[in-house]
Structure 1
Amino acid sequence: MYKPHIEKTQTKPEVAPYTLWQLVLYFLKLGTIGFGGPVALVGYMFRDLVETRKWISDEDYKDGLALSQLAPGPLAAQLGFYLGYVHYGVLGSTLVGIAFVIPSFLMVVALGWAYQQFGGLSWMQAVFYAVGSSVIGIITFSAYKLTIKTIGKDKVLWVIFGIVALYTAWSETEEILLILGAGVIYWLVKSPPKWPSRTNASIFSLTGESLTHAASSAVSGGSSETLWEILIFFAKAGAFVFGSGIAIVPFLFSGVVKEHQWLTDNQFLDAVAVAMITPGPVVITTGFIGYLVAGFSGASIAALATFLPAYLLTIIPAPFFKKYGRRPGIVHFVTGVTAAASGAIAGAVFVLGKRSIVDIPTLIFALVTLFLLWKVKKASEPVIVLGAAIMGLIVYPLIH
């Protein structure tokens, strides 16, 4: 189990055991073939960068996961931003973010074009029928590995994990106050509290100013009213919605279908399906929605508005985490937050599973996927997803 190093304060990053180009290529690959949504993507990063390649320390990974849970926005993208920052600062965070997001963005834009040209994606129901349940197997396995590594045998952390997991599964939302409260409780249990400095306040003040400036400069003065509406709406989604894959879908549904009436119910469900069967961050569905509303410009602005707040809310507090993250009080706070985050991820698996496993065949798809990942060490997630898609095209017409 991770034991915090508290004897000295880290003031500058150590020499990286990899090049920036290697890290960018890794995230380009992950964004191209990384299926399974935020839970699975977070698990892949831990497996590949911490366990296998040892590019990122366990401590830095946990700091990044905790910060990603504390800030709103897409979990996997935020963790990627932070891991890029660890050794290469703002440049590393920026290049990693672009490499991670651009493959799935181009895919959803292409699917958006096909959707408009050919009148819908009728075949996608068959594909998603199997892929959705197979993905549940992937994220279940990833969540299990992440939880065991993060919590270990600490009973207090297991209690925190259980409470947050049950709450998330019951409410179908991730409650940021509960996650923050878990960090405070573990801090109080493990070390005497100290009054926080004004660092956090200045960080979030600077973040707000940066977001305002970014929003003002993202769309030129000559842009259409619709593009401005897209920018504002999706910036809200990126800046104020906690829980990523869980919470952002109902938020998007309320705004896209009910408030602005940009899409019909069925079109919105197709958009979510597109995000689930493409690799990379699930929240890239905003790019597909933006394309249907206003073409390539709409897709670009929607994606930028969604990810930019998460980017800023990661890199601005990052120096604070790098500089003060080894102090006892902060270490214990982060450990409690990380345990709560793992519980929220486990609860998310249950919530997503209810929507994807709807009958015996989908249950079989999920169990077979879980079995393959558990027993076959070289099992490839993209190959499993591709196989599930093919099976869906065969099985779905026979049942429906």
Structure 2
Amino acid sequence: MSSLSYSQIFLIFFKLGCLSFGGPAAHLVFFHQTFVQRLHWLKDEDYAQVVALAQLLPGPTSSQVGLAIGYLKRGYLGSVVAWLGFTLPSALLMTLLAFIGQQLFPWISSAYFHAIQLIVLAVVFWAFWQMLQSFCKSWWQYLLMLVSALMIWFLPLSYNQILVIVLAGLAGMWIAKAQPQTGSNTAPSFQLEQRSFGSTTLWLILFICPFLLLGALNWTNPNLLAEGFLGFYQSAALVFGGGHIILPLLHQDFVSTGMISAQQFDLGYAFAQLMPGPLFSFASYVGYFLDLTAYPVLNAIIATIAIFLPSFFLIFATLPHWSWLMHQDKIKHAVIGINAAVVGLLLALIVDMGQDYLTSVLDLAFVMFVIVLLKSKLPVWVSLIGSFGVYMGLLSLLS
């Protein structure tokens, strides 16, 4: 392990957490510039392998790359310090916005909320379109995407989204049997402490435990703390891709159940687009409004830990066995199937949001206008704030 101090790791990742705007794809560019080109912590090929591993795992890709880099430099505690540095700025900002929003919420007009809802619809549609192009490249992926959306629409089950994800993974593994074997023969050049499958199995057991223990607790003695923690945990543990992907699951767990209002949820999600660092810090905002305990800030902390905790378990369990994982075609095809399914989850959410939010031709035109801005080279914050100003200006002219 490196002699690099924990404080150095924290400060480097904290700076990245303050400056890394633009979502996971941009974060990975910033990470490459920092850790490959400037600090020379990793070679190009090693960094590419870490990114590939993170993309195989559920949870926030860029945060998991940061965890892996912290682990490679200073082991388990290095991962924790790297995560804390990268996540703290956005988590603090989202918690602060929740506090301010709670005070100002009664004073915000319905027109402001409606504009925010339309902006969120546009952002989700843009994310859907990008993911459709990235995750659906063959006929069976498009089919799986549509079947997943139909299952969400016509199966009113409390766990229908999780069921869709599991079935999509199994479908991908079944399809892998008919595909040519493409397992990578590339082994990482970085040196890891040798760990047996038995020792890293502990991390997989810890990954599974919250599902069993909290699920049993909710069944025998329901309480909001266990229900909320499990909601955040399973949202991150079962979905691949990035922050936009968890939106349908969080919406189902906390908005559909009435634990947070749709207006509060949408307002926080719009703010989250303007934050640096991981989009999963949206959990800090949502947690603030939940009655998990009597203390809103503590609730935000619990939600933040819950949504990132699966990533720690998975990185610690899988990173030492990179070479073995890269030879498992069934695992890779399961991920491909799940990615196609979560695009279907976004499609189902877009249809539901469209039915609720689009009330006029002006609304539809405005959503298309925001999508055009998002597609442009303008910074995201300029597109969102500028489009909000345009919408409110139009309402003033038409009133």
TM-score by length of 1: 0.66
Q: From 265, 273, 297, give the equivalent of 1:272.
A: 265
Residues 268, 285 of structure 2: 8 Å contact kept: yes
Q: How far does residue 290 in structure 1 lie from its aligned partner after superposition? A: 3.4
2:189 aligns with: none
- Describe the shift of the 1:107–1:86 C-alpha distance in structure 2 as closer, same or farther (beyond 3 A): closer
Q: 5+ unaligned residues in a row in structure 2: which ranges?
A: 3-7, 38-43, 153-160, 184-196, 215-221, 240-245, 273-278
Q: Quote the Cα distance in structure 2 between the aligned partners of 1:292 and 1:82.
A: 26
1:363 aligns with: 364
Q: Quote the Cα distance in structure 2 between the aligned partners of 1:135 and 1:334.
A: 30
2:250 aligns with: 248
AA aligned to 1:84 is G
Q: How far does residue 83 in structure 1 lie from its aligned partner after superposition? A: 0.6
Q: How far does residue 187 in structure 1 lie from its aligned partner after superposition? A: 3.5
Relative contact order (alpha carbons < 8 A, sep ≥ 6): 1 or 2 greater? 1
Residues 165, 345 of structure 1: 8 Å contact kept: yes
Q: How far does residue 272 in structure 1 lie from its aligned partner after superposition? A: 0.9
Residues 84, 96 of structure 1: 8 Å contact kept: yes
- Describe the shift of the 1:373–1:126 C-alpha distance in structure 2 as closer, same or farther (beyond 3 A): closer
- Describe the shift of the 1:210–1:24 C-alpha distance in structure 2 as closer, same or farther (beyond 3 A): farther
Q: From 181, 200, 207, give the equivalent of 2:170.
A: 181
Q: From 143, 159, 162, give the equivalent of 1:163.
A: 143
- Describe the shift of the 1:141–1:92 C-alpha distance in structure 2 as closer, same or farther (beyond 3 A): farther
2:326 aligns with: 326
Residues 369, 384 of structure 1: 8 Å contact kept: yes
1:154 aligns with: none
AA aligned to 1:316 is F
Q: Secondary structure of the residue that 1:139 maps to in structure 2?
A: helix
1:8-61 CA-to-partner distances (Å, cap 9, x unmatched) read xxxx99xxxxx955555334434xx44xxxxxx344446665799886755433
Q: Secondary structure of the residue that 2:383 maps to in structure 1?
A: helix
Q: Secondary structure of the residue that 1:247 maps to in structure 2?
A: helix
1:309 aligns with: 309
Q: How far does residue 333 in structure 1 lie from its aligned partner after superposition? A: 2.4
2:63 aligns with: 81
Q: How far does residue 387 in structure 1 lie from its aligned partner after superposition? A: 1.2
Among all aligned residue pairs of Structure 1 and Structure 2, give the percentage whose two residues are the same amino acid: 12
Q: How far does residue 249 in structure 1 lie from its aligned partner after superposition? A: 1.8
Residues 14, 85 of structure 2: 8 Å contact kept: yes
Q: Secondary structure of the residue that 1:314 maps to in structure 2?
A: helix
1:290-330 CA-to-partner distances (Å, cap 9, x unmatched) read 38973444433432453253233333333255242222xx1
1:63 aligns with: 53
Q: How far does residue 135 in structure 1 lie from its aligned partner after superposition? A: 1.0
User: RMSD between aligned alpha carbons?
Assistant: 4.1
Residues 140, 370 of structure 1: 8 Å contact kept: no
Q: How far does residue 254 in structure 1 lie from its aligned partner after superposition? A: 5.8
Q: Quote the Cα distance in structure 2 between the aligned partners of 1:326 and 1:311.
A: 18
- Describe the shift of the 1:49–1:361 C-alpha distance in structure 2 as closer, same or farther (beyond 3 A): farther
1:113-160 CA-to-partner distances (Å, cap 9, x unmatched) read 334434525244044134213313541453255337xx5xxxxxx234
1:98-247 paired onto structure 2 within 5 Å: 98-118=84-104, 120=106, 122-123=108-109, 124-144=112-132, 146-147=134-135, 158-172=138-152, 173=161, 175-189=164-178, 190-191=180-181, 202-208=202-208, 229-241=223-235, 242-243=238-239, 244-247=246-249
1:390 aligns with: 389
Q: Secondary structure of the residue that 1:246 maps to in structure 2?
A: helix
1:294 aligns with: 294
Q: How far does residue 283 in structure 1 lie from its aligned partner after superposition? A: 3.5
Q: Quote the Cα distance in structure 1 between the aligned partners of 2:363 and 2:350.
A: 10
1:340-374 CA-to-partner distances (Å, cap 9, x unmatched) read 24313432442333215624334333433443454
1:379 aligns with: 378
- Describe the shift of the 1:92–1:57 C-alpha distance in structure 2 as closer, same or farther (beyond 3 A): same
Q: How far does residue 198 in structure 1 lie from its aligned partner after superposition? A: 7.3
Q: 5+ unaligned residues in a row in structure 1: which ranges?
A: 1-11, 14-18, 35-40, 69-74, 152-157, 215-227, 258-262
Aligned residues between the structures: 330
Q: Quote the Cα distance in structure 2 between the aligned partners of 1:160 and 1:91.
A: 42
Residues 169, 335 of structure 2: 8 Å contact kept: no
Q: Quote the Cα distance in structure 2 between the aligned partners of 1:270 and 1:341.
A: 29
Larger displacement relative to structure 2 (19-28 or 44-53)? 44-53
